Amino acid sequence: MGKFGFHVSIAGGLCLAVEKAAGLGCSTMQIFSHSPRMWKLKDIPKADAAAFRNARAESGISPLFVHASYLINLASANDELYEKSIAALKDELLRADQLGAEYVVTHLGSASGSDMRDASLRVAVALAKTLDGLHVKTRLLLENTAGEAGDVGYGFGDIAWIIGKSGRDDLGVTFDTCHGYAAGYDLKRKDGLERAVAEMDSTFGLGRLKQVHLNDSKHPLGSRRDRHEHIGRGELGRAAIGRIINHPALRDLPFIMETPKKDPEDDKRNMSVIKRLSAK
């Protein structure tokens, strides 16, 4: 059976994030290591990092995923933003390693009107520049996108092409269910899920798949709109989510929910739904 958790806020401190995750019944978790909308970052004090690692070890929550900043655009044709993004992603990996995180998850960026293949090649080169000579235990995962506003990496074949061009065999993948559905993978249908899993295996390979972002979708199939919904309340629905978390190729993976948090009880309700679906 897979592990279930949430993206948890670090407001109030890193150790409090572990406490929140444990209180929600998480067996895995994801965080930002800083505000995701700021370039300039404060160093993590060594004592804070050590306390966080100890708190997580005591909780038994594993693996830990750190989501990279939303500002990073590895596909940018703007040289200043491109180099700034590479430096920021390096910093994300170093910070995550300091916290003992197993993985960093990153969006690939937006082509912003430029040729998609050229943008994808810039991503591949950026990934190589980021990782070459960087000695960390934390592994980098590339997240599929909904294809909104020129976002790179909405097709599994595109992600495989980028990995191949990067020359980095240590790259992994995060599969976001909302993004996949919005990009045109019909995960609502049993045969559509089977085709999506088969395509992942035939392109980048299921061995690279290390995480599922388990999100329902506010918008319909192929909408190219990245808007998450509560589990079972969106276009995918409970039956489809149930098939995803119980699929033989996926069920042993860590599932992280990035569902809306408008009410303090939202996460509890989503966890309750997931546990019922996983028990079927």
From residue 155, give the alpha-carbon distance in Å to each of 117, 145, 179.
12, 8, 10
pLDDT band at 113 (very low <50, low <70, confident <90, very high): confident
Residue 279: predicted pLDDT:
79
From residue 180, give the alpha-carbon distance in Å to each of 11, 169, 274.
30, 23, 19
Cα 34 from Cα 167, distance rounded (Å) = 29
Query: Please, what are the domains in the chain?
Result: 3-278 (3.20.20.150)
3-state secondary structure the chain: CCEEEEECCCCCCHHHHHHHHHHCCCCCEEECCCCCCCCCCCCCCHHHHHHHHHHHHHHCCCCEEEECCCCCCCCCCCHHHHHHHHHHHHHHHHHHHHCCCCEEEECCCECCCCCHHHHHHHHHHHHHHHHCCCCCCCEEEEECCCCHHHECCCCHHHHHHHHHHHCCCCCEEEEEHHHHHHHCCCCCCHHHHHHHHHHHHHCCCHHHEEEEECCEECCCCCCCCCCEECCCCCCCHHHHHHHHHCCCCCCCCEEEECCCCCCCCHHHHHHHHHHHHHCC
Share of the chain above pLDDT 70, in %: 100
Asked if pLDDT for residue 126 goes beyond 90, the answer is: yes
Average pLDDT of every residue of the chain: 97
Cα 48 from Cα 67, distance rounded (Å) = 19
Residue 157: predicted pLDDT:
98
Tokens of 177: 């269910």
pLDDT in tens, 224-280: 999 999 999 999 999 999 999 999 999 999 999 999 999 989 999 999 999 999 977
pLDDT band at 112 (very low <50, low <70, confident <90, very high): confident
Residue 2: predicted pLDDT:
80
pLDDT in tens, 180-204: 999 999 999 999 999 999 999 999 9
Please indicate whether residue 114 or residue 74 has the higher confidence score (pLDDT). Answer: 74
Residue 221: predicted pLDDT:
98
Residue 140: predicted pLDDT:
98
pLDDT in tens, 16-27: 999 999 999 999
Question: Which residues lie below 8 Å from residue 188, measured CB to CB, with a gap of 6+?
Answer: 181, 221, 235, 236, 237, 240
Asked if pLDDT for residue 1 goes beyond 80, the answer is: no
Q: What predicted TM-score, i.e. pTM, was given to this entire model? A: 0.98
Strands 216-217 and 228-229: antiparallel
Residue 149: predicted pLDDT:
86
